Chains A and B, each alone.
Chain A
Amino acid sequence: SYELTQPPSVSVSPGQTARITCSGDALPKKFAYWYQQKSGQAPVLVIYEDSKRPSGIPERFSGSSSGTMATLTISGAQLEDEADYYCYSTDNSGDHRVFGGGTKLTVL
């Protein structure tokens, strides 16, 4: 099987920059996608194809990918950004579509 590895938690103060990483062997050839999930809600797509932002997602959310690591950056994190964040991608064969284990972002 294939795995995407994320840190379990990240903590920042309001206004600081939060960076959440996602590591996977196939990321040099496959895009990474990022989902935000607030408590009791469905996931919401915040970044697609490594670095593109869907309509309606604030500009403080950005994404990048280099080698086997993708990064979600929240510039000037706000209290409302507290959530679990999951990366998503697939292995090189495309047979295993997986989510990372998730990162709990705390803003306090």
Chain B
Amino acid sequence: QVTLRESGPALVKPTQTLTLTCTVSGFSVSAHGMCVSWIRQPPGKAPEWLARIDWDDDKHYSTSLKTRLTISKDTSKNQVVLTVTNMDPVDTGTYYCARTTVGIPAYFDFWGQGTLVTVSS
């Protein structure tokens, strides 16, 4: 059974760095063909894809946010970590991690339940 669970702070201050962890079960983040993405969703708005890391450690970033994002994985813990620097109130929203299947384009077939992050002083 594939499950993903996001964890991290619920509240961050403007200019701070956000670090989120996605803990995966039911598949290995290092197994051939396995990818994990981060997606966020501001309240009342559409989801926005942020970043993806592949089984071979290849990394992909949103063009509009790539200067602020870093994605990495810890294969010993089967976790994927996302950092977002210089947080701003507009970054408030629910952050999801999702298993990503290679396609045209790659798509998200299993999602975590999400974690709400609020940016406020």
Which residues on A are within 8 Å of B, measured CB to CB? Answer: 1, 30-31, 33, 35, 41-45, 48-49, 54, 86, 88-90, 94-102
Contact = CB atoms under 8 A, between A and B. Distances in A.
A100 to B, nearest CB: 7
B107 A48 contact: yes
Contacts of B111: 42-44
A41 B112 CA distance: 10
B46 interface: yes
A48 B109 contact: yes
Contacts of B47: 35, 43, 86, 88, 99
Interface string B48-80: 110000000000001110000000000000000
B46 A102 contact: yes
Given A31-B103, A49-B103, 13 more contacts: A30-B105, A31-B104, A33-B107, A35-B47, A41-B113, A42-B96, A48-B107, A48-B109, A49-B104, A86-B46, A86-B47, A99-B48, A100-B46
Interface of B: 45-49, 62-64, 96, 103-109, 111-114
Contacts of A97: 49, 62, 105-106
B117 to A, nearest CB: 15
A97 B52 CA distance: 11
A48 B101 CA distance: 11
Contact of B46 (A42, A48, A90, A99): A99
Residue from the set B96, B107, B108, B109 with the largest chain A CB neighbour count within 10 Å: B107
A27 B104 CA distance: 11
Contacts of B48: 99
A54 to B, nearest CB: 7
